[in-house]
Amino acid sequence: MDVASSDRIPKPRRPSRSEAEAAVRTLIRWAGDDPTREGLLETPDRVARAYEDFFRGYTQDPVAILAKTFEEVEGYNEMVLLKNMRLESYCEHHIVPILGVAHVAYLPDKRVVGISKLARLVDCFGKRLQTQETMTSQIADTLEKVLQPRGVAVLIDARHQCMTTRGVHKTEAATITTRMTGEFQTNMMMRQEFMTMVTSTAVGV
């Protein structure tokens, strides 16, 4: 998949800050409250600022995040796994949080990337309106395209507040999605090693 086409940075005109705040006042009225009462007066401003935080991924370039790589790793060519990264995202159907963890691994082909960049990549796609399947694919496909490793594995384990605080109210239900490429797709042992490492409890101090 072409990463550029899957990186859905929105193209429509961005509304002004005052238009965004007016929209929040409309939603407050729709919810049944009065946006002119004291406790709600500053809420449109706060919500606009919160949206800048929730959706900061639209201002980030996922390819640029992975631009800097290193080759001086003494020929290290085993799996690199960053596991248990907190994932914060937002359901594109209901605009409520998707919260969970992401595990990202790759098999380097000469080049490695700074490990924090894997976390930045997860945030870049997470902090947007998403489905879990889409962001799982976007993370894996960007790593695949930019780093050109021997394989990529991504697993996301998350709870959708649209299923816990509304709708079917299945509080404990967690959704797991995976995307495997290269040797993780073709070599069952490699896939199994990834799954074992992800589920093992050992954590460095």
Ligand X SMILES: Nc1nc2c(ncn2[C@@H]2O[C@H](COP(=O)(O)OP(=O)(O)OP(=O)(O)O)[C@@H](O)[C@H]2O)c(=O)[nH]1
- Out of 66, 162, 180, 198, the only residue in the binding site for ligand X (CB under 6 A) is 162
- Does 124 belong to an annotated binding site? no
Q: Which is nearer to ligand X, 157 or 193 (CB)?
A: 157
Task: Decide: is 138 part of the binding site for ligand X (CB under 6 A).
Answer: no
Two tokens, residue 105: 């691994």
Task: Decide: is 99 part of the binding site for Zn ion (CB under 5 A).
Answer: no
Task: Decide: is 163 part of the binding site for ligand X (CB under 6 A).
Answer: yes
DSSP helix/strand/coil, 138? helix
Distance CA 127, CA 96 (A): 12
Task: Decide: is 166 part of the binding site for Zn ion (CB under 5 A).
Answer: no
Directed axis angle between helix 17-31 and helix 43-54, to 10°? 110
Q: Which does 15 bind (CB under 5 to 8 A by kind): ligand X, Zn ion, none?
A: none
- Out of 20, 91, 101, 195, the only residue in the binding site for ligand X (CB under 6 A) is 91
- Out of 91, 99, 174, 197, the only residue in the binding site for Zn ion (CB under 5 A) is 91
Distance CA 183, CA 144 (A): 12
Quick one: 134 exposed, middle or buried, by C-beta within 10 A (0-12, 13-18, 19+)? middle
- Out of 117, 128, 150, 160, the only residue in the binding site for ligand X (CB under 6 A) is 160
Angle at CA of residue 12, ends 10 and 14, nearest 5°: 90
Q: Which is nearer to ligand X, 131 or 185 (CB)?
A: 131
Residues 166-205 as x/- pattern, contact with ligand X by CB under 6 A:
-xx-------------------------------------
* 153 neighbors 179 (Cβ within 8 angstroms): yes
Contacting range for Zn ion; rule: CB under 5 A; set: 42-50, 119-127, 129-137, 162-170: 162-170
**Residue matched to tokens 């992975």:** 66
- The DSSP bridge pattern shows strands 80-91 and 129-130 to be parallel
Task: Decide: is 46 part of the binding site for ligand X (CB under 6 A).
Answer: no
**Residue matched to tokens 């009225």:** 29
Residues labelled as active-site residues: 91-94, 132, 160, 162
* 90 neighbors 98 (Cβ within 8 angstroms): yes
Residues 106-135 as x/- pattern, contact with ligand X by CB under 6 A:
-------------------------xxx--
Q: Which residue positions form the known binding site for Zn(2+)?
A: 91, 94, 162
